[in-house]
Chain A
Amino acid sequence: MPRLNSYRELEHLRTSLLEQRQPITHTVMICGGPGCQIAHSDGLVDALQKEISSQGLKDSVALRATGCHGFCEQGPVMVIEPGNIFYCHVSSQDAFEIVSQTLVRGEVIDRLLYTDPASGVKIQTEAEIPFYRDQDQQLLSRNRLVDPCSIEDYLVAGGYSALSKVLQGASPADVIKEVTAAGLRGRGGGGFPTGRKWLESYQAPGDEKYVICNADEGDPGAYMDRAVLEGNPHQVLEGMMIGAWAVGAQQGYVYVRNEYPLAVQHSRIAVEQARALGILGENILGSSFSFDVNIARGGGAFVCGESTALMASLEGKVGEPRPKDVHTAVEGLYNKPTVLNNVETWANVPEIMLRGADWFAAKGSSGSKGTKILALTGRIKNTGLVEVAMGTPINTVVFDIGGGAANGHPIKAVQTGGPSGGCLPVDKFDLALDFDILAEAGSMIGSGGMVVMDEESCMVDVARYFLEFLQDESCGKCLPCRTGIDRMLEIVTDIAEGRGRPEQLDLLEELGDTIAQTALCGLGKTAPNPVLSTLRYFRAEYEAHINEGRCPAGVCKPLITYSIDADKCNGCGVCLRSCAYEAINGEKKQLHVINAELCQKCGICRSECKFDAILVA
């Protein structure tokens, strides 16, 4: 395609692409997100492609491998339009049937439909599935519209019209005013008002300015930025361009985690495509605005998701944070004014410019506007990516969308905001997902991770897990983070292993408070959260570990013993055969006994026993 030199040429290209696609009657959208890819969605794409050609439907069917749809639990998933037909757990063997029945004859294949676990009813369309019904997908829904490697798809879906609109008539001050009015707040965790950050950078002196997209997502279990950047990289780029125009930047960087090879590849392709069309580069669309983007790969340090550490890493220095007494919006990359926003924040910008601040601000709560993508994982039925309006109660997400407890044990808590977020008990589930409300409750929205825990999760063990992660990922520059977290871990490990002392709980709180106030960067400042929030809501569990030497959830190995219930054991011998340590003895049809000295508490016998005869106490 030739370079576009004016706004009219862009619109002309869009119209001609639309005309080319007139003959298409059916669109098949297969999720190519990480979850579905593991379930071999690329094999399915190839098989369908072959089947479509051999049945002569090449001109009327568009097959699209898209970014993540969200329902990773059911992968590979696909949606067929028209009809909004949703198939799940599809394999490449189903390709012939899908083409010959659904695409040719319009028949729905019952076998591939989703079954609602609550009612047992098969559900035909995506929109009716409870998991999707209660969501408000603004960003994720756009993943289905585009093939991430095709700028044509993005243009057909209305792409770059926000950029064109901004360049044609909006001054930088107008753009900043609009973003401020929309009430957009940073999606990376801090929740800093985006408009205010942009204004600060806009007003900062100097001609050389930068914009950065932070795609160094590292929270365990969180992958919303990955889904957006992999699935719709052009939308992120468009957001960055609008931001660059607003603050006066000529250069942008996408700092993407190297462990996300698809995100790296897709964003590179997107940049090249945009450059070829003249949407990136000198005099974009014939205007006076020049801007280019480079893709930088992260080196694998969690701390590089922190803005100043990220900038140090981009400059080629060791990825360590520096004090932020002067905001990075004024002194950032190479000491120049720099706007750094999260992937999701940037992706929200084009729609705000296109549909207006009021449209965006209509969703959400008083302090937090728009929608937020959450990564829902843990002991619930439906796991995956979920997008809801800000202000939605946790209840809706966990029970309506998530489908409630997976293993029959009652749900106890949810951990929000990744490793430095907090745990909220089930009686706080009526709280709204809102930056300020969650912060007040001792947790945070953070980047949007949500790990649901049930009665079989030990909160002391959870706190220990997150402390271990953070201690490992701390850069080690400042004393409270390097040594303080290590000391907290030491104490929590003592408690989990039965060496805890009652006065250590107060010490934990005092130390946590000190770290939160004095650490150098956001990683250290929020690191005590998992401990402080579990201490606040689940102190009884800590006390049970310390005072009674008992782990109520039966998780902390030094505090539990396995035994066999004499009433339930029928001597089938399954446990005896499955035990890798030969710790179980017993004759056939006789009561079996566990030898406590040999038992390694691995729990295999418990999971193998069909009669619930293995007890943990």
Chain B
Amino acid sequence: MLQLVEINVDGANIKAPKGSRVLDNAFEYGICIPHLCHIKNLPGTGACRLCVVEHVTNGYSKVTTSCTLGAEDGMVIRTNTDRIRKLRRNLAEILVAEAPNSRAVQDVAVRCGVKEVRYPFRNEQCILCGRCVQICTDTWRARAIGFVGRGKDRQVAYPMGIRPESCKQCYDCVELCPMTITPCDGPIQPGQEYLCGHCESQLMVAEDIPGSCTWCRLGESFGCGRYG
């Protein structure tokens, strides 16, 4: 039977199914926790770490990702403290420096408050968020793609490099890939990468009501919890 518990997110008491992801529940309620790798109602892998929140227990707060955190009764979550905002911004900064050639990544960087990038840009093809692997494994149970290699050699690939029978070419992996959405001004040429920031006006709306989803268009490109 579905057991409902009450969690407190940024002061709001939210009824949530026990064990369901805090990130999904906060979204249902309208509290925006920026995220990239999470797909709504899937277990969550905690790969991009953008959805970090403070989980307060006994007056001591611990930073953890809300996409992997299961709701427990009486849980106290803070999504928009100075500490969290700074961590999120720094994470988004290294993310956008890695792959500026994606509107989704650029948008999430704006949403996380990145104003400058202090690292040399790289023009990676894949940011290893694992959305494709999640949908293929957790939703379709096809396991047609997965991660191969460790650390810098990590990449998404077919088993042994051959497309298996279990792949029905549903193209959900392509659909969900944040790298397939080119920036509004068109693809950025290698060597000319820049931080776009065109959508900063969207952020103004979001900043007026901190931590609340205002249906800004920043999450649209990668299908954030609101749009997905």
Give the total number of A-B pairs whose CB atoms are below 8 A apart. 87
Question: Hey, what's the 0/1 contact readout for B46-82 against A, CB within 8 Å counting as 1?
Answer: 1111101000000000011100111000000000000
Beyond the given pairs A301-B150, A514-B90, 4 more chain A to chain B contacts, judged by CB atoms under 8 angstroms and listed by A's residue number, are A476-B151, A479-B127, A511-B90, A511-B94
Inter-chain contacts of B87 with A (CB < 8 A): 514, 517-518
**Closest partner residue, chain A, to B50 (CB atom):** A479
- Does A474 belong to the interface (CB within 8 Å)? yes
Knowing A325-B70, A479-B48, the reply to whether A510 touches B151 (Cβ < 8 A) is no
In the complex, the answer to whether A483 meets B95 with C-beta atoms within 8 Å is yes
How many Å from the CB of B99 to the closest CB on chain A? Answer: 10
The answer for the CA separation of A477 and B146 in the assembled complex, in Å, is 12
Bound Cα distance from A61 to B208, whole angstroms: 86
Kindly list chain B residues whose C-beta atoms are within 8 Å of the C-beta of A326. 70
| Contact across chains for A318 and B154 when beta carbons are under 8 A apart | no
Contacts A479-B48, A480-B49, A520-B49 hold; do A486 and B64 have CB atoms under 8 A apart? no
Alpha-carbon distance between A472 and B127 when the two chains are bound, in angstroms: 18
Contact between chains at A479 and B49 (CB < 8 Å): yes
Q: Does A441 contact B (CB under 8 A)?
A: no
Show 29 A/B contacts (Cβ-Cβ < 8 Å), sorted by A: A301-B150, A318-B147, A322-B46, A323-B65, A323-B69, A325-B68, A473-B151, A476-B151, A477-B45, A477-B47, A477-B154, A478-B49, A479-B91, A479-B94, A479-B95, A479-B127, A482-B128, A482-B151, A483-B95, A484-B94, A486-B152, A487-B94, A511-B90, A514-B86, A514-B91, A518-B63, A518-B87, A520-B47, A520-B65
Given the known interface contacts A325-B68, A325-B69, A482-B128, the answer about A520 and B150 at a Cβ–Cβ threshold of 8 Å is no
Q: Are B47 and A471 in contact (CB under 8 A)?
A: no
Please indicate the chain B residues that have their CB under 8 angstroms from the CB of A486 in the complex: 152
Tell me the smallest distance from the CB of A473 to a CB of chain B, in Å. 7
What is the predominant secondary structure among interface residues of chain A facing chain B?
helix
Cβ B128 vs Cβ A476 within 8 A: yes
Decide: A479 and B47 in contact? CB cutoff 8 A: yes
Residues 97-136 of B at the A interface (beta carbon under 8 Å): 97-98, 118-120, 127-128
Establish whether residues A483 and B98, one from each chain, have CB atoms under 8 Å apart when the complex forms.
yes
Q: Give CA–CA (A387, B149) in the complex, Å.
A: 38
Q: In the complex, what residues of B have CB within 8 A of residue A472's CB?
A: 151-152
Which chain A residues lie closer than 8 Å to B150 at the CB level? 301, 303, 473-476
Contact B47 A483 (CB under 8 A): no
Report the bound CA distance from A141 to B128 in whole Å. 49
Contact A476 B52 (CB under 8 A): no
Q: Does A507 contact B (CB under 8 A)?
A: yes
Query: Which residues of the other chain, B, contact A303 by a CB distance below 8 angstroms?
Result: 150
- Name the one of A473, A482, A490, A520 contacting B46, with C-beta atoms under 8 angstroms: A520
B-side contacts of A507, CB under 8 Å: 118
Contact across chains for A518 and B91 when beta carbons are under 8 A apart: yes
Q: How far is the CA of A54 from the CA of B65 in the complex (A)?
A: 70
Residues on B with C-beta less than 8 A from A511 are 90, 94
**4 nearest CB pairs, A to B:** A476-B154, A323-B68, A514-B90, A476-B151
Q: Please, how many angstroms separate the alpha-carbon atoms of A301 and B151 in the complex?
A: 11
| A487 contact set on B, CB distance < 8 A | 94, 97, 119
CB contact list, A128-184 vs B, under 8 A? none
Closest residue of chain A to B48 (Cβ to Cβ) is: A479
Q: How far is the CB of B100 from chain A (nearest CB, A)?
A: 14
Q: With the chains together, A474 CA to B119 CA distance in Å?
A: 20
Question: Which chain B residues lie closer than 8 Å to A483 at the CB level?
Answer: 94-95, 98
Inter-subunit contact B152/A471 (CB<8 Å): yes
Interface pair B151/A323, CB less than 8 Å apart: no
List the A residue with the shortest CB-CB distance to B65.
A323
| Chain B residue with Cβ nearest A484 | B94
Q: Chain A contacts of B49 at CB under 8 A?
A: 478-480, 518-520
Q: How many residues of A contact B (CB 8 A)?
A: 31
Cβ-closest chain A residue relative to B36: A479
Mark A443-472 against chain B: 1 for CB-CB distance below 8 A, else 0. 000000000000000000000000000011
Q: How far is the CB of A483 from chain B (nearest CB, A)?
A: 5
Asked if B46 and A478 sit within 8 Å, CB to CB, the answer is yes
Q: Which residues of A contact B45 (CB under 8 A)?
A: 477
Residues in A with CB closer than 8 Å to B46 are 322-323, 478, 520
Q: Smallest distance from the beta carbon of B18 to chain A beta carbons, Å?
A: 13
Say how far A294's CB is from chain B's closest CB, in angstroms: 25
A60 to chain B, nearest CB (A): 55
List, in ascending order, chain A residues with CB within 8 A of B52's CB.
Answer: 517-518
Residues of chain A within 8 A of B70, CB atoms compared: 325-326
Q: For the complex, what is the distance from the CA of A472 to the CA of B151, rounded to whole Å?
A: 6
B151 near A478 (CB under 8 angstroms)? no
Give every chain A residue within 8 A of B127 (Cβ-Cβ).
Answer: 479
Tell me whether A476 and B149 are in contact (CB under 8 A).
yes
B69–A475 CB distance below 8 A: no
Tell me the smallest distance from the CB of B158 to a CB of chain A, in Å: 15
Closest Cβ–Cβ distance, residue B164 to chain A (whole Å): 17
A514 to chain B, nearest CB (A): 4
Within 8 A of B (CB), among A310-357: 318, 322-323, 325-326
Contacts of A478 in B (CB 8 A): 46-49
Complex-state Cα separation, A472 to B153, whole angstroms: 9
CB-CB under 8 A from A514, the residues of chain B are 86-87, 90-91
B63 contacts across to A, CB distance below 8 A: 517-518
Report the separation of the CA atoms of residues A472 and B150 in the bound assembly, to the nearest whole angstrom: 8
User: In chain A, residues 214-246, which have Cβ atoms closer than 8 Å to a Cβ of chain B?
Assistant: none
> In the assembly, what is the distance between CA of A510 and CA of B118, in Å?
11
Contact A482 B154 (CB under 8 A): yes
A518 to B70 alpha-carbon distance, docked (Å) = 18
Q: Which residues of A from 483 to 510 have beta carbons under 8 Å from B?
A: 483-484, 486-487, 490, 507, 510
Q: Within the assembled complex, what's the spacing in Å between the Cα atoms of A396 and B25?
A: 55
CB neighbours of A510 from chain B (8 A) = 90
A482 CB contacts on chain B under 8 angstroms? 128, 151-152, 154
Q: Flag A512-525 by CB within 8 Å of B: 1 or 0 each.
A: 00100111100000
Question: Contact check: which of B69, B86, B94, B147 meets A480 at CB < 8 Å?
Answer: B94
| Residues on A with beta carbons closer than 8 Å to the beta carbon of B69 | 323, 325
Query: Which residues of the partner chain B approach A490 to less than 8 Å between Cβ atoms?
Result: 119-120
Instruction: Determine the chain B residues whose CB is within 8 A of the CB of A479 once the complex forms.
Output: 47-50, 91, 94-95, 127
How far is A609 from B153 in the complex, measured between Cα atoms in Å? 44
B169-201 to A contact mask, C-beta < 8 Å, 1/0 = 000000000000000000000000000000000
Bound form: Cα–Cα A292–B50 in Å: 43
* Inter-chain contacts of A475 with B (CB < 8 A): 150-151, 154
Chain B residue, CB-CB nearest to A321: B46
Q: Is the CB of B64 within 8 A of A325?
A: yes
A561 to chain B, nearest CB (A): 28
Question: Which A527-585 residues have a C-beta within 8 angstroms of B?
Answer: none
Cα separation A362 to B89 with both chains bound (whole Å) = 48
Contacts of A476 in B (CB 8 A): 128, 147, 149-154
Expressed in whole angstroms, the minimum distance between the Cβ of B146 and any Cβ of chain A is 8
